Amino acid sequence: MEMEPAKIANQMISFQKNLFENAFGAMSMVQDQTEKMVNTFWTQFPWVPEEGKKAITDSVKMYREARDNFKKSVDDGFAKMEEMFNRK
């Protein structure tokens, strides 16, 4: 009976983790497709200056890094929560 709250907490964490993974995957897919669409669009126009292309490339790199950092932070948080409830 003593382990029941920990089991419930682990199930809740697992549910939230799966929910986040699915939502994050969908968001990433939309962002990646948007990036491909924008790249296709602006590379077909020779009048786009190199500074503009560099700004777009830098922005894409920045949001990818931010997205990766966000994912890592959330994953670390879930790992800490799981560790906290799995202590014996």
Angstrom distance (rounded) from CA 20 to CA 61: 23
Q: Supply the pLDDT for residue 13.
A: 92
What's the pTM?
0.80
> For the chain, which residues make up each domain, given as ranges?
47-88
Look at 57 and 5; give whichever has higher pLDDT.
57
**Token pair in block for residue 40:** 């296709």
Predicted confidence band of residue 1 (pLDDT cuts 50, 70, 90): very low
Amino acid at 15: F
pLDDT single digits (tens) 11-46: 999 999 999 999 999 999 999 999 899 888 877 888
Q: Averaged over 63-84, what is the pLDDT?
A: 95
Angstrom distance (rounded) from CA 22 to CA 79: 17
pLDDT greater than 70 at residue 88: no
pLDDT single digits (tens) 46-69: 888 889 888 888 999 999 999 999
By the 8 A CB rule, do 56 and 42 touch? yes
CA-to-CA dists, residue 54 to 15, 40, 43, 59, angstroms: 41, 15, 12, 8
